[in-house]
Amino acid sequence: MNRRRFLKLSAATCAALASLELENKGIFRPVASDAATCKGLPGSLGAKEVTSVCEMCFWRCPIVAKIKDNKLVKIEGNPKSPTNGHRVCARGNSGIQLLYDPDRMKYPMKRVGARGEGKWARITWDEALDEIAHNMKEVKKKYGPHALAMFDHGASAEFYREIFRATGTENFSNEPAFFQCLGPVSMAYLTTYGYQVSERVDMANAKAMLFFGSHLGENVHLSHVREYMKGLLRGAKLVVVDPRFSAAAGKADMWLPIRPGTDTALILAWINYVIQHDLYDKEFVHKHCKGFEQLRKSVRDCTMDWAARICDLNVDDMTKAIKMVAEARPRVSLHPGRHAAWYGKGDVQRHRAMGILTALFGSVGVPGGLYFPTPIHLGEADCLGEDEVDDLIEDVKPPETSLKDGYAFADIFPGSPTDAIIKATKTGKPYPVKLWGVCGVNLLQTISNPYQTMDAIKKLDFIFTIEVLPTEPAIWADIILPEATYLERYDAVHKKGNLYPYVTVRQPVVDPMFESKPPYWIARNLAKRLGYNLFTCKDEREFLNEQLEEIDLSLDKLSKAGGIVTFKANPYKDLNKPLGLNTDSGKVELYAESYDDEDLDPIPRFEPVPAPPKGYARLVYGRVPMHTFSRTMNNLWLSNECPEGKLWINDEIATRIGVKDGETVIMENQAGYRSNPVTLFVTAGIRPDTVYLPHGFGSRSPLLTKTYGKGASDQFMITNYRQDPFMGASGHRSNFVCLIKDGKKLSIPELRPLPPEIPRFKMRKAS
């Protein structure tokens, strides 16, 4: 037998042979192949395989990690996954470089210099946890439970959240991811449809898709992008409304370069148009919606001409676009959007309007429209100690003035608005906040006005962070706990109840490196020191088995099944029967009575947001597909792929002010804050009154050696913001910049006339 033939045979026993077919029909192989006989195979072939779940972004695709000689060599999608199959995105492929990043936090650290200086001394886990527990107890004793606040994001935070909840604080889960991102869209769709629609929109079966700013392709949620692509390949029409020609606009039938901040005007005019021209689903509206008459009356003055002037669009294009979409009804995927905190004030209403237009097309519970989740009921996992926590906080008094006050619907969501906590910390009003715990959130690269956040941190008695990397918040922390990466730990059972429901688990593919510890261990040992009887399971496996038992599964069974078990989806509804939605009326609420009670518009109304002051352009931001938030910029491979975001500027503006593609400039915002140098990208694909910068660059942590100082940060230009009145989300898109080249200020000329309905932002210099 020659060598090649031998290798061929041995490979066949080690690796299933993937076919060349377009769709994944790979045969799944058991978790661990026989590594001994596979030695010497090239690349990742013949590696030991461990199934797990990605966390390079929160979409959490099922993965298979490939291990050779105890080293992770490759990450691929779990071929058994019904959503991604053997695929992972750029970031998923680069998880190896998070695991083996030499910049990682290796040991528990204690601050020795001033806050923000980044000088630390190595301490033991016992010392670190003792110090955190001591400070938590002290602050609680001195100022009461609400003086503690936690900022969290990511799978590991679930454990720490229980600890903060047990302290009795109302500030136990303040996901900036919610209050800076998804909040307004959740609020709007909960009101209209009674459930968290999120991204449950069946694009694969759509005949038309309508996006407001959603830039799929630049934003890569893998299975979501696949559904979108499937829809396009099946011939769905695509209309993209965006001031910028996004990757999605590149695939679209129509691009409407709307004036930023005017989307609601366009949607209201479209609602009026489809009603006036009988382009709506009368039967659906009659059977399943409440408040149609009020809606009809409310929007009757919203003409296409009016909207065209406000939105700076062409009536013919607007008409052509809405006809194109309406003709496809009910198979219309009007994407609810994700990051919805744009301007603060009108954000919920914009998404309400989107939800209403969706209902007029009858695109609810049908293929191609909004669909319903398929719940998977896991066990309660008593060992987390939820009952124990309820007992602990039974006697805790709510604060006299809650941080949720002033926001009509904030109390239906856990935690308090991020902005309210930061302001309370800075001012001591309405009550002092003196301790922050931070896990998985880059407070300075995520939250509006990072200068204010830094001021607030200076007022704290104590701040600790749980980190994989020395991020900006770590630089400001008193104690830093090194957490194991997603490749070195278990987390809670991962379930997805979308179109292809499944259950899978994250499990360590290698042992935790350095002195990093998994979240369950950290939470358990911290809880113990605080005297809370939480996390009673001896380890994660016991906890996971408790969760799985409820659906007749166990870790062993999951493992035998290839790490993942799928369920039948139940996404559509029988529209002959009442929808039975979880709204006040059980129907789709076109008219929201609950808003009326709070003096909020029960039917969306267009409220203008201020236009750029003379000489400035509006700064908008978004994503590049090689990075997640501000989290992956230090990844060796991803940084190489995209080291910095370029500032997009309209080609005509560039010519007029005398800047060229590839040149370096500095941004100055309306308050006089200046950015790091940033490279210009001159393109016809953006409006003249808008500039666009990919989010998350311009790191200020010198310990992130691969990304420190590269590019400019959009976040450090976002100093002007406003809260939405519903649940307190912060809108980030009310900031304006001019450019500075060679020390000379270049003001941006106004090429598009401003209608009288839209006020101009009034300049105020920074103090």
Partner 1 sequence: MSQYAMVIDLDRCVGCHACALACRAEWNIPVPYRRNWVKRLGPAKTPYGMSYTFYPGLCNHCDHPVCVEVCPADPVKREFTDSKTGKKITMEIAATYKDPFTGAVLIDKERCLGCGSCVEACPYGARYLNENLDNPKADKCTFCMERVEHGEVPACVKTCITDARIFGDLSDKSSDVYKLVHEKGAKRLTSSEVNIGPNVYYMGSKKDLHLLAEKCTPHEKTWENVKAPTRRDVLMAAIKMVTEKA
Residues that bind partner 1 (CB under 8 A): 4, 7-8, 11-12, 15, 17-18, 20, 22-23, 41-45, 73-77, 84, 86-90, 92-94, 96, 216-218, 220, 222, 225-226, 229, 232-233, 245-247, 249-251, 255, 625-626, 636-638, 640-642, 683-686
Query: 3 exposed, middle or buried (CB, 10 Å; 0-12, 13-18, 19+)?
Result: exposed
Question: At a CB cut-off of 8 Å and minimum separation 6, what does 734 contact?
Answer: 343, 344, 609, 610, 720, 721, 722, 761
**What is the spatial distance between Cα 266 and Cα 459, in angstroms, rounded to a whole number?**
44
* Residue whose C-alpha is closest to residue 467's, from 478, 481, 486: 481
DSSP string, 431-483: S---EEEEES--HHHHSS-HHHHHHHHHT-SEEEEEESS--HHHHH-SEEEEB
Question: At a CB cut-off of 8 Å and minimum separation 6, what does 747 contact?
Answer: 614, 615, 616, 657, 738
**What is the spatial distance between Cα 250 and Cα 343, in angstroms, rounded to a whole number?**
26
What φ, ψ does residue 444 adopt, rounded to 5°? Answer: -85, -25
Task: State the minimum distance, in angstroms, from the CB of residue 9 to partner 1.
Answer: 10
Sheet strands (E) in 177-256: 208-212, 237-241, 254-256
Task: State the minimum distance, in angstroms, from the CB of residue 482 to partner 1.
Answer: 25
Query: 331 exposed, middle or buried (CB, 10 Å; 0-12, 13-18, 19+)?
Result: buried
Sign of the torsion angle spanned by Cα atoms 567, 572, 577, 578: positive
Our measurement of the distance from residue 185's CA atom to the centroid of its chain's CA atoms, rounded to an integer in Å, reads: 12
Cβ closest to partner 1, residue 232 vs residue 463: 232
- Give, for 683, the enclosing helix (H) or strand (E): strand 678-683
Report the alpha-carbon angle 13-16-22, nearest 5: 165
Cβ closest to partner 1, residue 257 vs residue 725: 257
Cβ closest to partner 1, residue 21 vs residue 278: 21
What φ, ψ does residue 662 adopt, rounded to 5°? Answer: 90, -10
Sign of the torsion angle spanned by Cα atoms 452, 453, 455, 460: positive
Task: State the minimum distance, in angstroms, from the CB of residue 73 to partner 1.
Answer: 7
- Give, for 649, the enclosing helix (H) or strand (E): strand 647-650
* Residue whose C-alpha is closest to residue 464's, from 42, 754, 151: 151
Task: State the minimum distance, in angstroms, from the CB of residue 472 to partner 1.
Answer: 24
Cβ closest to partner 1, residue 74 vs residue 434: 74
Cβ closest to partner 1, residue 89 vs residue 424: 89
Task: State the minimum distance, in angstroms, from the CB of residue 14 to partner 1.
Answer: 9
Task: State the minimum distance, in angstroms, from the CB of residue 500 to partner 1.
Answer: 15
Query: 582 exposed, middle or buried (CB, 10 Å; 0-12, 13-18, 19+)?
Result: exposed
Task: State the minimum distance, in angstroms, from the CB of residue 249 to partner 1.
Answer: 7
* Residue whose C-alpha is closest to residue 242's, from 685, 623, 717: 685
Task: State the minimum distance, in angstroms, from the CB of residue 637 to partner 1.
Answer: 6
Q: Is 293 helix (H, G, I), strand (E, B) or coil?
A: helix
Q: What is the 8-class DSSP label of residue 76?
A: E
What φ, ψ does residue 564 adopt, rounded to 5°? Answer: -150, 140
* Residue whose C-alpha is closest to residue 465's, from 456, 474, 475: 474
Task: State the minimum distance, in angstroms, from the CB of residue 4 to partner 1.
Answer: 7
Cβ closest to partner 1, residue 88 vs residue 147: 88
Task: State the minimum distance, in angstroms, from the CB of residue 17 to partner 1.
Answer: 4
* 561-578: burial string, b at 16+ Cβ within 10 Å, e else: bbbbbbbebebbbebeee
Cβ closest to partner 1, residue 255 vs residue 606: 255
Cβ closest to partner 1, residue 235 vs residue 743: 235
Task: State the minimum distance, in angstroms, from the CB of residue 254 to partner 1.
Answer: 10
* 409-431: burial string, b at 16+ Cβ within 10 Å, e else: bbeebebbbbbbbbbbbbeeeeb
Cβ closest to partner 1, residue 75 vs residue 659: 75
Task: State the minimum distance, in angstroms, from the CB of residue 651 to partner 1.
Answer: 9
Task: State the minimum distance, in angstroms, from the CB of residue 707 to partner 1.
Answer: 13
Cβ closest to partner 1, residue 524 vs residue 706: 706
> For the CA atoms of 325, 329, 332, 334, what is the dihedral angle to 10 degrees?
70
Cβ closest to partner 1, residue 246 vs residue 262: 246
Task: State the minimum distance, in angstroms, from the CB of residue 60 to partner 1.
Answer: 15
Cβ closest to partner 1, residue 598 vs residue 661: 661
**What is the spatial distance between Cα 318 and Cα 266, in angstroms, rounded to a whole number?**
8
Question: At a CB cut-off of 8 Å and minimum separation 6, what does 337 contact?
Answer: 185, 211, 212, 213, 214, 351, 354
Cβ closest to partner 1, residue 348 vs residue 469: 469
Cβ closest to partner 1, residue 14 vs residue 481: 14
* Residue whose C-alpha is closest to residue 670's, from 705, 623, 603, 720: 720
Angle, nearest 10°, between helix axes 183-193 and 347-360? 40
- Give, for 593, the enclosing helix (H) or strand (E): helix 593-597
Task: State the minimum distance, in angstroms, from the CB of residue 123 to partner 1.
Answer: 34
Task: State the minimum distance, in angstroms, from the CB of residue 16 to partner 1.
Answer: 9
Cβ closest to partner 1, residue 87 vs residue 309: 87
Cβ closest to partner 1, residue 52 vs residue 84: 84
